[in-house]
Amino acid sequence: MSIVALLMLALTCLTGSNHALFQDQAGTYDWRQQYVGKVIHAMFDQSTVSGKRILVATQQNVVASLFSKNGKIAWRQIQEGNVQDSISSLLHSDNSLVSLSGHAFLRNWSPTSGYLQWEVPVNGSGKSSQAIFIEDTDEQIAVTSGNTLYVISAKTGSEKLKQSLPNSESTEYGLIYSKSDKIYLVGIAEDQHVSVVAYDSLGTIQYQNTLPAIWVKMNSQCEIFGDNLVCLDTISNTVYSTPLDGKAFKSVALSDFGFEPNQPKLVALTEDNSINSFGIIIDGENAAVLGIDAAGVKVVKDLPQATAMQVSKHPETQANVLVTVGRRSSDDIFLKLYDLATGSEIIDMSKTIHVASHHGKPQKIVVQLVKRKESLLNFRLLLVSDDHSMILLQTSGRSVWVREEALASVLSVEMVDLPVSEVQAKFDDEFGSSRDDIVAMFIKRFKTQFLQLQTFILQLIDNIQGHKHKAIFTEGHEEGDDEFELTRDNFNLNKIIVAATSVGKVFGLYSSTGKIVWRHMLHDVTPFSRYGSPMLALLVQRTTAHFPHQPQCVVIGKHKVTGNGVLSVFNPITGVPVKNTPSEGISLHFQIKQFTLLPMNDDHFIKPIAILDTNNRVYLYPENKKIMKEIDNTMYMFTASEDTNTMIGYQIKQMDDELKAQEVWAANLGQDNQVITSVTAKKVGEHVHSQGLILADRSVLYKYLNPNLVAVTTEGIDGQAKPFINMYLIDTVSGHIVFSCYHRRVHGPVKLVHSENWVIYSFYNEKNRRNEISVVEMFEGSKQSNSTDFSSLHPPSPPIVMRQAFIFPFPLSTMAATVTEKGITDKHIMIALKAGGIVEVQRQFLDARRPVIPKPEHREEGIIPYIPEIPLSFEQFINYNQSVFNIRGIHTSPSGLESTSLMIAYGLDIFFTRAMPSKMFDVLKEDFDYFFIGAVLSAMILASVITKKLAERKALYRGWK
Going by C-alpha positions, the residue among 641, 787, 792, 817 that lies closest to residue 714 is 641
Reduced to 3 states (helix: H, G, I; strand: E, B; else coil), residue 851 is coil
Beta bridge mates, 322: 311, 338
Averaged over 880-903, what is the pLDDT?
A: 93
Going by C-alpha positions, the residue among 590, 586, 597, 496 that lies closest to residue 538 is 597
Going by C-alpha positions, the residue among 657, 656, 621, 664 that lies closest to residue 639 is 664
Going by C-alpha positions, the residue among 244, 124, 233, 237 that lies closest to residue 180 is 244
Transcribe 783-844 into DSSP letters: S-S-SS---SSS--SPPEEEEEEEEESS-EEEEEE---SSS-SPPEEEEEETTS-EEEEEGG
Beta bridge mates, 176: 185
Residues 244, 210 share a domain = no
Q: Give the C-alpha distances (Å, rounded to integers) separating 355 from 54, 309, 392, 409, 501.
A: 21, 17, 11, 22, 20
pLDDT tops 60 at residue 6: no
Going by C-alpha positions, the residue among 799, 819, 810 that lies closest to residue 917 is 819
pLDDT tops 90 at residue 610: yes
User: What pLDDT shows up at residue 245?
Assistant: 87
| Any domain includes 897 | no
Contact of 587 with 566, CB cutoff 8 Å: yes
Structural domain ending residue among the three candidates 219, 248, 264: 219
Residues 269, 203 share a domain = no
Going by C-alpha positions, the residue among 52, 106, 53 that lies closest to residue 79 is 106
User: What pLDDT shows up at residue 17?
Assistant: 47
User: In the structure, what pLDDT confidence band is assigned to residue 314 with cuts at 50, 70 and 90?
Assistant: confident
| Any domain includes 624 | no
Contact of 559 with 592, CB cutoff 8 Å: no
Can you point out the beta strands (E) in 348-494? 351-354, 362-371, 377-385, 390-394, 399-403, 410-417
d(CA 832, CA 800): 31
d(CA 487, CA 510): 11
Residues 165, 240 share a domain = no
Contact of 166 with 144, CB cutoff 8 Å: no
Going by C-alpha positions, the residue among 748, 855, 876, 858 that lies closest to residue 811 is 748
Averaged over 689-699, what is the pLDDT?
A: 88
pLDDT tops 50 at residue 468: no
d(CA 225, CA 212): 20
Total domains in the fold of the chain: 4
Residues in the chain: 961
Residues 152, 114 share a domain = no
Q: What percent of the chain has pLDDT over 70?
A: 91
| Any domain includes 522 | no
| Any domain includes 168 | yes
User: In the structure, what pLDDT confidence band is assigned to residue 478 with cuts at 50, 70 and 90?
Assistant: very low
Residues 187, 105 share a domain = no
User: What pLDDT shows up at residue 1?
Assistant: 40
User: What pLDDT shows up at residue 481?
Assistant: 41
User: What pLDDT shows up at residue 167?
Assistant: 83
Structural domain ending residue among the three candidates 121, 142, 171: 121
User: What pLDDT shows up at residue 476?
Assistant: 42
Q: Give the C-alpha distances (Å, rounded to integers) separating 830 from 376, 814, 876, 888, 915.
A: 57, 8, 10, 13, 9
pLDDT tops 80 at residue 463: no
Per-residue model confidence as pLDDT tens digits over 651-668: 999 888 889 999 999 999
d(CA 939, CA 807): 57
Q: Write the CB contacts of 356 (distance below 8 Å, at least 6 apart in sequence).
A: 331, 474, 475
Residues 224, 191 share a domain = no
Residues 280, 249 share a domain = yes
- Alpha-carbon dihedral 300, 306, 308, 314, rounded to 10 degrees: -50
Can you point out the beta strands (E) in 588-682? 592-597, 609-613, 617-621, 636-641, 646-655, 658-668, 675-681
Q: Write the CB contacts of 728 (distance below 8 Å, at least 6 apart in sequence).
A: 669, 711, 712, 713, 714, 737, 739, 740
d(CA 241, CA 228): 7
d(CA 264, CA 258): 14
| Any domain includes 87 | yes
| Any domain includes 545 | no
Residues 241, 201 share a domain = no
Per-residue model confidence as pLDDT tens digits over 53-91: 999 999 999 999 999 999 999 999 998 876 666 888 999
* Cα atoms found within 13 Å of the Cα of residue 279, Cβ hemisphere only: 26
User: What pLDDT shows up at residue 567?
Assistant: 95
Residues 292, 237 share a domain = yes
Going by C-alpha positions, the residue among 902, 899, 812, 915 that lies closest to residue 413 is 902
d(CA 526, CA 536): 8
Q: What is the mean pLDDT of the chain?
A: 87
User: In the structure, what pLDDT confidence band is assigned to residue 294 with cuts at 50, 70 and 90?
Assistant: confident
Task: Tell how strand 758-765 and strand 746-755 pair up.
Answer: antiparallel
d(CA 95, CA 416): 48
User: What pLDDT shows up at residue 927?
Assistant: 76
Most confident of 344-348, 374-378, 483-487, 503-507: 503-507
Residues 212, 228 share a domain = no
CB atoms within 10 A of CB 35: 26
Going by C-alpha positions, the residue among 794, 655, 811 that lies closest to residue 731 is 794
Q: Write the CB contacts of 539 (distance below 8 Å, at least 6 apart in sequence).
A: 414, 553, 554, 556, 597, 609
User: What pLDDT shows up at residue 422?
Assistant: 67
Phi, psi of 447 (to 5 degrees): -60, -40
Per-residue model confidence as pLDDT tens digits over 736-793: 999 999 999 999 899 999 999 999 999 999 999 999 999 999 999 888 877 778 888 8
Q: What percent of the chain has pLDDT over 90?
A: 55
d(CA 868, CA 385): 50
Longest Cα–Cα distance of the chain, Å, equals 135
Averaged over 84-107, what is the pLDDT?
A: 84
User: What pLDDT shows up at residue 10?
Assistant: 44
Beta bridge mates, 803: 776
* b/e 421-431 (16+ beta carbons within 10 angstroms → b): eebeebeeeee
| CA 455 remoteness from chain centre | 40
Indicate yes or no: pTM above 0.85: yes
Q: What is the CATH number of the domain that holds 53?
A: 2.40.10.480
User: What pLDDT shows up at residue 333?
Assistant: 92
Transcribe 216-241 into DSSP letters: --TT-EEEEETTEEEEEETTTTEEEE
Per-residue model confidence as pLDDT tens digits over 131-182: 899 876 668 899 988 788 999 998 899 998 898 888 878 888 889 998 877 8
**Residue 272 lies in domain:** 220-304
Residues 127, 212 share a domain = yes
pLDDT tops 70 at residue 801: yes
761: which DSSP letter? E
Residues 235, 194 share a domain = no
Going by C-alpha positions, the residue among 282, 276, 316 that lies closest to residue 298 is 276
Structural domain ending residue among the three candidates 175, 195, 219: 219
| Any domain includes 319 | no
Per-residue model confidence as pLDDT tens digits over 182-196: 899 999 998 899 999
Per-residue model confidence as pLDDT tens digits over 221-250: 999 998 899 999 989 999 999 998 888 999
Burial class (CB in 10 A: 0-12, 13-18, 19+), 808: buried
CB atoms within 10 A of CB 317: 9
User: What pLDDT shows up at residue 482?
Assistant: 46
| Any domain includes 186 | yes
